[in-house]
Amino acid sequence: MKKLFFLSLIFLTVQAYGQKFEGLAKTPPMGWNSWNHFACNVSEDLIKGIADAMVESGMKDAGYEYVVIDDCWHGERDEDGFIQPHPERFPSGMRALADYIHSLGLKFGIYSCAGYKTCAGYPGSRGYEYQDALQYARWGVDYLKYDWCYTEGLNAEGAFMTIRDALYEAGRPIVLSICEWGNNNPWDWGKDVGHLWRTTGDIHLCWDCEYDHGTWSAWGFLKILDMHEQLRKYNGPDHWNDADMLQVGNGMDVNMDRAHFSMWAMLATPLMAGNDVRNMTQETVDILTNEEVIAVNQDPLGIQAFKYDRIGTADIWVKPMENDELAAAFLNRAEFPMEFEFNWEEHIFIDEIFEKEFSFSGTTYNIRDLWAKEDIGTTNVVKSIKVPANDIVMYRLHK
């Protein structure tokens, strides 16, 4: 009896530490993050306005859930060491802001850093992990993005485990977004630590550029896509490869935005809008709220697409989905349009990692064009596929 008591005590102790909150991100998280568009210009008025616009624009109905304040919300620590928001930017405090966001049926996200400062130089969590986690729980935070600046001497896996354990101890289920830019192979250890991990340096607002910051680079949409490709075996429910926030609506051409959004959906990576959702063109709204494309991203299997082949300048990507369905995307990387005949019956899509096979010679699939929003026939008819310059054609195939 005594032995049993001690054994269960050990079990409970092991349970209380060393784990993440399971099941908080069974499909890729969807929401909005301030960094790509606003950088350090964050305030409670902005965040409330964004949350309102997420409801009014239809984004909430389309599935966007988290409103995440990235860097620069911080003020000082109080005399007991508890972090406080910037008094001028967030005069009503974080609890009030969280309550407001929750009252709209949305969830509240915040940002901190494993180092002693955040990347923008505000107080980081190093040495304050348990206290910060407690503060976030008291505020009603639902999502924490945790960054990797000023971390000299720290081991990445250990540092992220510390904040994981601190969040668990604080008792409020909080999604943990690991952000160390893929530097320490987070795909090898992140599954038990957080719910998503960034795979690369920051996304830059361009189609295919590298933007050199000196000690690190930011990357255009295609560059991140290509770097992400090899990581598909690590992706899955509750543990996602994070290709970074969306740049849709921030200034690229609409065709590029469409391609970028489609491929983030195909990758089964988080869909965190990064634009000013209070002022969107109709084209941007139509991209961000295309529910059929979002459904591909949110498919319960959570399988990241694989690159099947290239025809001319078009990469063909395939994403296996529930009920033996699949999505197929034809991404034209070039600055000129292209057109080709595609005889489905000559192709077999084989996914060796997730053990799926789609053969079109014996089975006929119906094809739904997800941007034209129309059914365009079946796979036993040879079709000509036209992809405009720097654009995409995306289909959902079902029997």
CB 34, CB 111: distance < 8 Å: no
Shortest spacing between CB 32 and ligand GAL, in angstroms: 13
For ligand GAL, the closer of residues 85 and 320 by Cβ is: 85
SS (H, E, C) the chain: CHHHHHHHHHHHHHHHCCCCCCCCCCCCCEEEECHHHHCCCCCHHHHHHHHHHHHHCCHHHHCCCEEECCCCCEEEECCCCCEEECCCCCCCCHHHHHHHHHHCCCEEEEEEECCCECCCCCECCCCCHHHHHHHHHHHCCCEEEEECCCCCCCCHHHHHHHHHHHHHHHCCCCEEEECCCCCCCHHHHHHHCCCEEECCCCECCCCCCEEECCCCEEECHHHHHHHHHCCHHHCECCEEEECCCCCCCCCCCHHHHHHHHHHHHHCCCCEEECCCCCCCCHHHHHHHCCHHHHHHHCCCCCCCCEEEEEECCEEEEEEECHHHCEEEEEEECCCCCEEEEECHHHCEEEECCCCEEEECCCCCCEEEECCCCEEEEECCCCEEEEECCCCEEEEEEEC
Shortest spacing between CB 38 and ligand GAL, in angstroms: 11
Residue nearest to ligand GAL (CB): 119
- Would residue 147 show up in a list of annotated catalytic residues for this protein? yes
Contact pattern for ligand GAL over residues 244 through 283, marking x by CB under 6 A: ----------------------------------------
Out of 147, 244, 299, 391, which one is annotated catalytic? 147
Does position 242 interact with ligand GAL (CB under 6 A)? The reply is no
Does position 202 interact with ligand GAL (CB under 6 A)? The reply is yes
- In the list 25, 31, 57, 70, the residue contacting ligand GAL (rule: CB under 6 A) is 70
Does position 243 interact with ligand GAL (CB under 6 A)? The reply is no
For ligand GAL, the closer of residues 117 and 138 by Cβ is: 117
Does position 391 interact with ligand GAL (CB under 6 A)? The reply is no
Subset of 317-336 contacting ligand GAL (CB under 6 A): none
Contact pattern for ligand GAL over residues 144 through 163, marking x by CB under 6 A: ---x-x--------------
Shortest spacing between CB 243 and ligand GAL, in angstroms: 12
For ligand GAL, the closer of residues 71 and 165 by Cβ is: 71
C-alpha span between 69 and 42 (Å, rounded) = 7
Contact pattern for ligand GAL over residues 32 through 51, marking x by CB under 6 A: ---x----------------
For ligand GAL, the closer of residues 71 and 391 by Cβ is: 71
Does position 119 interact with ligand GAL (CB under 6 A)? The reply is yes
Out of 202, 244, 299, 391, which one is annotated catalytic? 202
CB 247, CB 221: distance < 8 Å: yes
Tokens 């901190």 locate to: 112
For ligand GAL, the closer of residues 179 and 288 by Cβ is: 179
CA distances 57 to 31, 61, 131, 276, 335, Å, are 13, 9, 37, 12, 31
- Would residue 192 show up in a list of annotated catalytic residues for this protein? no
Instruction: Number of residues interacting with ligand GAL: please give it, by CB under 6 A.
Output: 10
- In the list 44, 65, 71, 325, the residue contacting ligand GAL (rule: CB under 6 A) is 71
- In the list 144, 167, 176, 179, the residue contacting ligand GAL (rule: CB under 6 A) is 179
For ligand GAL, the closer of residues 242 and 391 by Cβ is: 242
Shortest spacing between CB 90 and ligand GAL, in angstroms: 17
Shortest spacing between CB 264 and ligand GAL, in angstroms: 15
C-alpha span between 342 and 197 (Å, rounded) = 36
For ligand GAL, the closer of residues 120 and 295 by Cβ is: 120
| Chain contacts with ligand GAL (rule: CB under 6 A) | 35, 70-71, 119-120, 147, 149, 179, 181, 202
Catalytic residues: 147, 202
